[in-house]
Amino acid sequence: MIIAIDGPAASGKGTIAKYVAQVYGLHHLDTGLLYRAVGKAMLDAGHLLDDTARAIEAAIALDPKQFDENALKLQSVTEAASVVAAIPEVRQALMSYQRQFAMKTPGAVLDGRDIGTVIAPGADVKLFVVATPEVRAKRRVLELKARGEEADEKEVLADLLRRDERDSRRTAAPLKAAPDAHLLDTTHLGIDAAFRAAVAIIEAARTGRKRR
């Protein structure tokens, strides 16, 4: 079984994806980490983010086994990830790893921006997770503070909006819901309610029932 979970930053998709993977005993891939790793490699090497050739080299050279998730989640890497993610050849270089991951037995949950549209268009269940920018900014502030980072809510909101805009407007695999994705709005849902809603959608899809 392949479950595709897409949505904008801090919508809750990552947390939901982890939980769903645990519930169904599936592998989980946070595909944002791949773009973050390319962005971080560019920053570490002192390359300009619009140096497409270097970004493609960095994407080709990635080794997901070496990822340090904490370092990749730092706010300083976030913007760089969004910039390099707009380069079509970078996306191309990361595609086969994601597609192979999706084919693992007994199945996989992948979360990102283009899983339901590009990486796994034939996924068994697709969720598109959304929440208002204000709620997402609040969540991101809590997450950053929990990691010991400084976070100003207004700045975080501005950053989220800028990233949403870039991720949605790019021509290569923009952030958008697949036509057959189930929309899950977590704006007014706590974490447990969001988990329950996600599992209810997946169960309904699995048993072939139509959900309105």
**Residues from 38 through 77 that contact ligand DC (CB under 6 A):** none
Residue 117 touches ligand DC, criterion: CB under 6 A: no
Burial 12-38 (b: 16+ CB within 10 A, else e): bbbbbbbbbbeebebebbbbbbbbbbb
- Residues in Cβ contact with 58 at an 8 Å cutoff, skipping those fewer than 6 apart: 37, 38, 41, 42, 45, 84, 90
Residue 116 touching ligand DC (CB under 6 A): no
Site for ligand DC in 88-107 (CB under 6 A): none
CA-nearest of 101, 138, 135, 105 to 4 is: 101
35 binds ligand DC (CB under 6 A): yes
Q: How far is the CB of 29 from ligand DC (least distance, A)?
A: 10
Residue with tokens 């962005």: 39
Find the helix or strand (DSSP H, E) in which 114 lies: none
Q: Smallest distance from the beta carbon of 131 to ligand DC, in angstroms? A: 14
Residue of the chain from 56, 81, 130, 141 that contacts ligand DC (CB under 6 A): 81
- How many residues interact with ligand DC (rule CB under 6 A)? 13
Write out the residues near ligand DC by the rule CB under 6 A.
9, 31-32, 35-36, 81-82, 85, 112-114, 163, 167
